[in-house]
Structure 1
Amino acid sequence: MTSKRRQRKKGPAPTKPSALVDRRVRQARVTMEAPGLRVGDILAAVAVAEMPGVGEVRFYEALMPYVLLLDARRDEKRAVQLLARARKSRKRQSDGEIHIADSTAIVDLQHLGARACITAMEALEAFAAEILPVDAVYTPKAGKRVGERLDREQILWLKTKERFGDALPAALGLQSIKHSALLWASFKRALALRNAAIHPKPEHLHSFGKLDPGRLSSRIIAEEFVGVSEMAAAVMERYSPGYVTTADSRR
């Protein structure tokens, strides 16, 4: 009996689940092996993995789309603060030009503003893969693949606008985010910012010293990143009602 107790003490103490995952973890313990369980049905599950130097461990697996959304919220909030700081540091030079004196604020603003957009779109990418059923199908009504019956994997490889504006609502039987002009415009703006950060066009890369509204830094200074995390949360709520609000309520 003593040796068994000692053996138990050697192992790591079980981690207490946070308020975010507590109820769903309890549900997962009962249902995670049930046939037909969809990943999107639970906020977190008890996972098993091999930890180097430790062996097999059990732990609470994070809901990645939501975790990424939290990152986008944090970066956006900080970027807004930095934008205000940079604005206050502006100085008019003798030649009439206005310069931003706080170079740290302006550089960090570009970093966090761009990252907020990238992370928000990554959150939506992960979300789409999670909620799309295994047997999902979609038949495009226009474009190169019009009339072709696409399965889940083919849907996930569609271009972002078609995937979120047409394929997801069709496969899920829900109204498209296109029906909300404000949400659709916000989605496209965030996508454009993400693309400007990771797929910049040559004309924007070589526009130093000139006013270029399409350049990433120009778009961030113009506050186009503001509201990106709210947009991502709204898209998630449209295609999986309660997804974000339930997670938020358990934090």
Structure 2
Amino acid sequence: MTDLKGKCALITGSVQGIGLAVAEAMAEAGARIAVHGLATQDEAAAVCAGLLQKGAEAAEFFDADMRDPDQIETMLAAVTAWGPVDILVNNAGIQRTAALEDVNREIWDSIIAVNLSAAYHTMHGIMPGMAERGFGRVVNIASVHGIVASKNKLPYVASKFGLVGMSKVAALEYADAGSKSSGGVTVNCIAPGWTETAIITPQVAERAEKFGGDRDKGIADLLSEKQPSKRTSDPSEIGALALWLCARQAHNITGTVIPVDGGWTAQ
């Protein structure tokens, strides 16, 4: 259903985890992939080579510190020259856990800059071109913490709630761009719950120790606190959803927040 041949996708934070899974899904659909993230030259080259093997029309690494608007602007200029961006996936993100009284200015500014402001800068720079061409897909990787809150995550929750709100406004402003035949311009959020990425590995290992090293029991125990399914999601499942949102048939799906959270936010 989703053929992305001839389309160019910029995916921030795409050298590992969810971002890489999204890049792989879009590579398999034939897109040109603009890769971004924290990586050495060798690591970036390996990611690009892997995407080419999966079917990407082309894959190239673009570097930028997402805390720095000037670097983002420079990156966008380079990506746009390489191939006008048809698909933007804002996945780059950081998290620090701390109580409100312990959140200093550096923690607040960094998380808001990467998780929220960077998405504003990329959308601001790319979406007008999408409207001119009549097709565009923006998929913002939010979080269950863009729907509900948790203790000790104030900047992260604020950034993800902000990302959801910003996405809804952009969806409304661009809702009538393009047409059914061209595919239109849409903006949606995916809100993952517990997902099998490196960030949860220490928590899973610690919890598994309670069950003699049984990882599955450790995961079920950890997730039982919030995620009713007691199952994690695989990054490839997030990638498949992001790909589906890029289909031409999804032209009327915009302004949504789609949880992938095993019922967490249904409670």
TM-score interval for Structure 1 and Structure 2 normalised by the shorter chain: under 0.3
- TM-score, normalised relative to structure 2: 0.25
Greater per-residue helix proportion: 1
Larger strand proportion, structure 1 or 2? Answer: 2
Structure whose alpha-carbon radius of gyration is higher: 1
Normalised by the size of structure 1, how large is the TM-score? 0.27
